[in-house]
Structure 1
Amino acid sequence: MTRIPRLALISGSTRAGSTNTSVILTVPDVLGDAVHATPYLELARLPHFNPDDDVEPLPAEVVRLRELIARADAVLFCTPEYAGDLPGSFKNLLDWTVGGVEIVDKPVGWINASSSPTGAAGAHRALRTVLGYTGASVVEEACARVPVPRAVVDEGTGTITDPTVREAVAEAARRLLAAVPR
């Protein structure tokens, strides 16, 4: 019997109605039973990173985050850009992963949902740099720009409704899963 891969989905936004969170919420919908996809939507609950606190016992929310990553076969991120870089709250999440070993050598990718002309290039350049420090294994084929206009997000479910955008999200996630060792 084939084991179903586990995918951690992490939104880099704390904003209600974020298109980045919509991408994360859409992944389980478009992949269905092919994957155990678990969204992490508690970014705002993480304490500020302090190396002095990166010792046992860890803060409870940090434990939850690290356990999610540890159980996952791969991690898919979707983050906005603020002031040309990663949002501070999302960088904080990544800082908490540096001290752990959960993400080391783990396949990771991201979907850039920005509809802006610059495409949030600064944030994704920074994400690549930070993930290098965590020891994650960036899967180039799973790093995709999929602009998500707010008009294609269902206000009730927060998921993407446009079939073309949904398929692009699914394809990036499939490419990430293809990099998971069997």
Structure 2
Amino acid sequence: MLMICGSLRKGSTNEAALRTALAVAPPSLDGTMYTGMGDLPHFNPDDDREPLHPAVAGLRAAIGAADALLLCTPEYAGALPGSFKNLLDWTIGGGEVYGKPVAWMNVASPAAPAGGEDAHASLRKVLGYAGAEIVETACARVPVTRPDVGEDGLVRAEALRDQIAGALGALAAHLAASRPRAEGQ
């Protein structure tokens, strides 16, 4: 599973949720955090051809190698942050997201007026264009506030950790159910 944080902010609650996901993931989910979003060039369709910018080639290779994606993004000005939308734009031309199981966590604080719903509606739309398989049972709203994050960068509250683990359990169950069974089983 490749985890992508939609925030470039150091120590964001979105990053904390994904780091916590690594810590509480079931053994069947091997997770890797993608950290190259800030290195991606601005999307330009003229540049979406070989030779690709190395950061774009790396992103596409990481997505292609993953059995699933777990995304966690904030909402900015009522939509996806520009840097995260840029990342998503680079995924369209390569086709690596097509048919890929994708889930997301929404960690908007309880005080957020729309709870990040506009960003996730935008995300759903873009993933639809990319042909991703959205795993609804693994998409979760886990409101994380800055005080919920410890000095180690992980979510401390057990109830929130349990919600994150539950979403990952649903993703793991989906992946297990969709894997072809070996002959004779």
Q: Which residue of the partner structure matches residue 166 of structure 2? A: 171
Larger Rg: 2
Q: Deviations over 1:51-110 (max 9, x none)?
A: 111111111111111111111111010000000000000000000000012110011010
Q: Which residue of 1 aligns with 2:93?
A: 99
Distance 1:19 1:95 in 2: 24
SS of structure 1 residue aligned to 2:33: strand
The CA RMSD measured in Å over matched residues stands at 1.1
Tell me the residue number matched to 1:11.
Answer: 5
Higher strand share: 1
- TM-score, normalised by the number of residues in structure 1: 0.92
Whether the aligned pair in 2 keeps the contact of 1:74 and 1:177 (CA below 8 Å) is no
Deviations 1:112-146 (A, max 9, x none): 00011320111000000000011101111111111
Runs of 4+ with >3 A deviation:
none
Q: Which moved more, 1:31-40 or 1:57-66?
A: 31-40
Whichever residue aligns with residue 21 of structure 1, its letter is E
Distance 1:84 1:117 in 2: 10
Could you list the runs of 5+ residues in structure 2 that have no partner in the other structure? 180-185
2:22 alignment counterpart: 28
List alignment gaps of at least 5 residues for structure 1.
1-6
Q: Which residue of 2 aligns with 1:88?
A: 82
TM-score, length basis structure 2: 0.91
Per-residue deviation, 1:149: 1.0
Asked if 2 retains the 8 angstrom alpha-carbon contact of 1:9 and 1:77, the reply is yes
The counterpart of 2:107, out of the listed 110, 113, 119, is 113
